[in-house]
Structure 1
Amino acid sequence: MTTLAIAGNPNCGKSALFNNLTGIRQTTGNWPGVTVERKLGSFNLSPENKVTVIDLPGIYTLDAMSLDEQVTRSYLLSREADVVINVLDAANLERNLYLTVQLLEMGVPVVLALNMMDIAQKRGISIEIDLLSKKLGCPVICIVAVTGKGINDLKQAALQVIEDHSRGGFSLTMDAEVETAIADIRPHLPEESHTYNTYWIALKLLEGDTSVCRQQPDAELSLRIQKWQQHIQNITTESADIYIADSRFGHAHTITQLVVKVKGKVHKYLSDRIDQVVLHHYFGVPIFMLVMYLMFMFTINFGGAFIDFFDGVAGAIFVDGLASILTSIGLPDLAVLILAQGLGGGIQVVATFIPIITCLYLFLSFLEDSGYMARAAFVMDRFMRAIGLPGKAFVPMIVGFGCNVPAVMATRTLESERERKLTILMNPFMSCGARLPVYVLFAAAFFPSNGQNLVFALYLIGILMAIATGLVMKHSLLSGESSGFLMEMPTYHVPTLKGIGLRTWDRVKLFIRDAGRIIIIMVLALNVLNSIGTDGSIGNEDSENSVLSVVGKSLTPLFEPMGIEKENWPATVGIFTGILAKEVVVG
């Protein structure tokens, strides 16, 4: 089996390429030992050649400063990938080439996918592909990932590199001082380093990055490295790591100057014009609030319209239909109760959530694919700074609208441990998709004509509570100032139906798989306990005389201060089951 890894900067089109290559054949999990999302997919190059695709985290460098960078570099060093497709934004070639240079330094087999060629051409940018390929010593393929243009050529180029066992012909020659230092360090590297590109290992050690070795350099090697670091600083007046990074940037700049030609004047693009309004000092926040309001209006009014349909169909198939089949084949009442009322009832409850959750994720996917989500973080920056967080800490909080678990995982992008902890403590106040069905139920019951206003208010209160929590923690346990905020604004795109559909399907599938299992088990237990009478009868229709009522009534006194009386024991049951899964409250 062939393994293909996709690497590149954030917002370069990696995910679009991954979706185009794999379609719905995707699985999502975590990289071993860390809370970094791992996405795998597959496609068939031929009937006998199945290709596994791994979407590596979006990074700017392989310096292993962040979790994403550590995960990517560790995977590349493992040599599990037969070829690495490095996706580059053709409209911002020079910035993207820094990572390319580092990949080629490692000696991994690379194919360059020059993405967003349509945007580059609209801006009057032309690139000499053959010259770029010659300078970098690897194949370069022009693609437009969102439309699929050039994807077949990219597949064939990757296959050719694998068959040829090509490692490319790239060689970045450093200045004499650095080359001399590397030549002196290489013979003294630990034995295990010889399985990798020893030139690259020596270069990273010279930069002060000892994590590239499984074992720390011995005292003699450490002294040798320190001697050369000091020598380079004396000669260049820069530390070795900065000097080497400058050399890479200089090489990327030189290549860009050779291969990129720009026709006409550089003018203000549509994205810049939109940002003048969306990122406006005064209009930015109201626009963000309007977008959030539209999201809830769409979710409740459109998604809510399908709840009864999903409820009826699921009930007819998994409850009534299944009960009829099981009864006709002569299964005992207890088995029918467990399988139809219990298991089938749980599936019915999950089915009623699908339209609401799908609409929420559709809207969030639209915002992400269009490029607006990054703007939301920028707009909220000045509010987040008041509680000692950078604006990008708001991105995990927006993710929390879908689910708090990936929102907590998304805090890995924050630089300091203090910022990660503070954001994690604030995240539970962001109303997730699990609470949305509960909100919708009560909104429909008490405010049938203006339900979206109530839900929007509840979400807004959650945001305010999160900010209040941040303020309290800033002045107590987690005091400190926020780090600098630097975020690349992706170009606005018109999202494709395929892109939005795949992203939404992936998230809804995870909801059904993860939350659905808990909901089904809980609803099964509740329905079975509610159908078993205190006298041991099966199929009990009087819930007041069920085993569940006895348990609920015995716990209700704990909640009397809240005004819950004994005859309102179902509320007590809902509170306890809601601890495990908020959606079960509805069931």
Structure 2
Amino acid sequence: MKSKITVALAGNPNAGKTTIFNNLTGARQHVGNYPGVTVERKEGLCLHGNIELQIVDLPGTYSLTAYSAEEMVARNFIIDERPDVVVDIIDASNLERNLYLAVQLMELGVPLVLAFNMSDMAKARGYEFDTEKLSRFFRARIVQTVGNKGTGMKELLDAIIETATNGTSDTNHKDEKSSTGVLSSRANIRGSHHQAVPIMNYGWEIEKEIAKIETLIQENRSVAGKYNARWLAVKLLENDRELRAKVTSPKINEQVKKGIEHLEKVLGESTETAIAGARYGFISGACQEAVRSTIEIRHTISDRIDSVVMSRVLGMPIFLGLMYLVFQLTFTLGDPPMEWIDNFFGWLGGMVQ
């Protein structure tokens, strides 16, 4: 076990990443800039037991596709500097949107921990998580945290060290077949962590094109040495500008062009949209199986009642029955009070006379 490990904190903007960074590092942090860009680089140190953690607060980003300087910096840091663990800080009250980045990190093959931050807010909104099942889907340890209260920090550090030591969660090695899609394993992005990397099945047409490009990448040592072949093939099909510029092989570029043209013709949409849709489908399936909403349950019960009392067949008989019941209760239960009132006013009239 290394006495010092490097941890990268990733996450969507406003997910509470910087709050957790401050909780973990306290005053032991410094701020700089990444080379060549004006994006801020924040680093800090944290001691947990006898292990020192160098924690890097990556820029907030929604994905690992290089649309902005922040996304490019975050991705390049993870690929080039290879942190021992990546912690994805997730807004648990807005889970599906935040899990998109987690899926991309999962595909990238990094040792991953998911911090379900703002878990108190998620609970207040009626969400309950089967974290064990979600851990199997995303092949990562999951810790529920409340950054602004400092809750879950010890558990998060324990999960980071365990992941750095042992790789993915122990529960991850069980096969999980569900509506989320097919998961299998591949080598690490650069082969250094020796952990299983889960991948998604994008469907027959896309998988066929991925396989063609992946084969060519594996044959090209200059390209295959830095990136996981499958991950790079997917990114090239997504038409990632930065990666396409880095791949100079005419053979690979020609196959990518053919693959994109074929898929757009068959699928009727851009490959980027189709691949993103598959990822969101995976996330939606995982959430359907592992996230329970008590609010939805209450709505479901109400909807079931409505479906009965508002039906064309039973609606009118139920309405007439209820009106008859109200009529009977009015006169049956109303007789004694009416008699009491009548007797009271009779007595009062006698007293006045």
Is 2:199 the counterpart of 1:171? yes
Is 1:245 aligned to residue 245 of structure 2?
no
Counterpart of 2:285 in structure 1 is: 254
Aligned-pair distance for 1:214?
A: 7.4
Q: Is 1:109–1:168's contact at 8 Å kept on the other side of the alignment?
A: no
2:242 matches 1:208: no
- Residues 66 and 241 of structure 2 are in contact (CA less than 8 Å); yes or no, is this contact kept in structure 1? no
| Distance in 2 between residues matched to 1:24 and 1:168, nearest whole Å | 36
| Distance in structure 1 (CA, Å) of the matches to 2:293 and 2:246 | 48
Q: Tell me, yes or no, if structure 1 residue 198 matches structure 2 residue 229.
A: yes
Q: Secondary structure at the match of 2:198?
A: coil
Contact residue 223 and residue 247 of structure 2 kept, 8 A: no
Does 2:151 match 1:123?
A: no
Match for residue 416 of structure 1? none
Whole-angstrom distance in 2 between the partners of 1:96 and 1:109: 18
TM-score normalised by length of structure 1: 0.44
Aligned-pair CA distance for 1:7: 0.3
Q: Percent identity?
A: 37
In the TM superposition, 1:111-510 aligns within 5 A as 111-166=113-168, 167=195, 169-189=197-217, 190-194=220-224, 195-212=226-243, 215-264=246-295
Amino acid at match of 1:262: S
Unpaired stretches in structure 1, ≥5 consecutive residues: 268-587
Between the aligned partners of 1:213 and 1:44, the Cα distance in structure 2 is 40
Task: Work out whether residues 13 and 62 of structure 2, in 8 Å CA contact, stay in contact via their aligned partners in 1.
Answer: yes
Residues of 2 paired with 1:20 and 1:221: CA distance?
46
For 1:214 and 1:168, the matched residues in 2 are separated by: 29
Matched, 1:4 2:35: no
Whole-Å separation in 1 of the counterparts to 2:222 and 2:41: 27
Deviation, structure 1 residue 242: 1.1
Asked whether the 8 Å contact 1:4–1:82 carries over to 2, the reply is yes
Cα–Cα, structure 1 residues 50 and 61, in superposed 2: closer, same or farther, change >3 Å?
same
The CA deviation string for residues 243-296 of structure 1, in whole angstroms up to 9 with x for no partner, is: 1111111111111111111113699xxxxxxxxxxxxxxxxxxxxxxxxxxxxx
How far apart, CA to CA, are the structure 1 residues paired with 2:158 and 2:165? Answer: 10
Q: Runs in 1 of length 4+ with deviation above 4 angstroms? A: none
Matched to 1:59, the amino acid is T
State yes or no: 1:33 paired with 2:33. Answer: no
Question: What SS does the aligned partner of 1:188 have?
Answer: helix
- TM superposition shift of 1:192: 3.0
* Structure 1 Cα separation of the partners of residues 257 and 33 of structure 2: 37
The structure whose residues are more often helix, as a share, is 1
Q: Distance in 2 between matches of 1:53 and 1:161?
A: 15
Q: Which has the higher contact order (CA 8 A, sep 6+)?
A: 2
- Assess, with a 3 A threshold, how the Cα gap between structure 1 residues 86 and 4 changes in structure 2: closer, same or farther: same
- 1:64 is paired with a residue of what secondary structure? coil
Q: CA deviation at 1:187?
A: 2.1
Shift of 1:136: 1.1
- Whole-Å Cα distance in 2 between the matches of residues 265 and 111 of structure 1? 28
- Secondary structure of the residue aligned to 2:151 is coil
The structural deviation recorded for 1:145 is 1.3
Matched, 1:19 2:22: yes
Give the distance between the partners of 1:215 and 1:171, measured in 2 at CA.
23
Q: CA deviation at 1:213?
A: 6.4
CA deviation map 1:189-247 (0-9, x unaligned) = 24233232111001001111152367333222211111111111111101111111111
**Shift of residue 165, structure 1, vs aligned partner:** 3.8
- Structure 1 match to 2:112: 110
Q: Residue 107 of structure 2 contacts residue 197 of structure 2 at CA under 8 Å; is this kept in 1?
A: no
- Equivalence for 1:91: 93
AA partner of residue 40 (structure 1): E
Aligned-residue CA RMSD in angstroms?
1.8
Higher strand share: 2
SS in 2 for 1:170: strand
C-alpha distance in 1 between matches for 2:154 and 2:47: 12
Instruction: Tell me the SS of whatever aligns to 1:196.
Output: coil
Distance in 1 (CA, whole Å) between partners of 2:64 and 2:295 is 35
Counterpart-to-counterpart distance in 2, 1:152 and 1:20: 11
Give the distance between the partners of 2:117 and 2:108, measured in 1 at CA: 23
Change (3 A) 1:129 1:223: same
Deviates more, 1:257-266 or 1:129-138: 257-266
Structure 2: gaps (5+ residues) = 169-194, 299-353
Separation of aligned partners in 1, 2:243 and 2:112? 20
Number of residues of Structure 1 aligned to a counterpart in Structure 2? 266
Superposed CA deviations along residues 302-330 of structure 1, whole A, max 9, x for unmatched, are xxxxxxxxxxxxxxxxxxxxxxxxxxxxx
